[in-house]
Amino acid sequence: MPQMAPIKWLSLFIIFSISFILFSILNYYSYIPSSPKSFNLKKSKLNSLNWKW
């Protein structure tokens, strides 16, 4: 079984590292938080604090 040269391992490491970083960046910036949902949650929390005796 032939062995790979060290420069091949280095190029593979660089390619996989760059692809992992690009994948992480794309996942980070593709997330869009929805503001109306958070507004409704805050409103419901305030309403739950009102005690009805």
Number of H helices, E strands in the chain: 2, 0
Burial class (CB in 10 A: 0-12, 13-18, 19+), 32: exposed
Render each residue's pLDDT in the chain as its tens digit; 53 residues.
567 788 899 999 999 999 999 999 999 998 777 766 555 555 555 555 666 66
Taking the complete model, does pTM exceed 0.85, yes or no? no
In eight-state DSSP terms, residue 33 is -
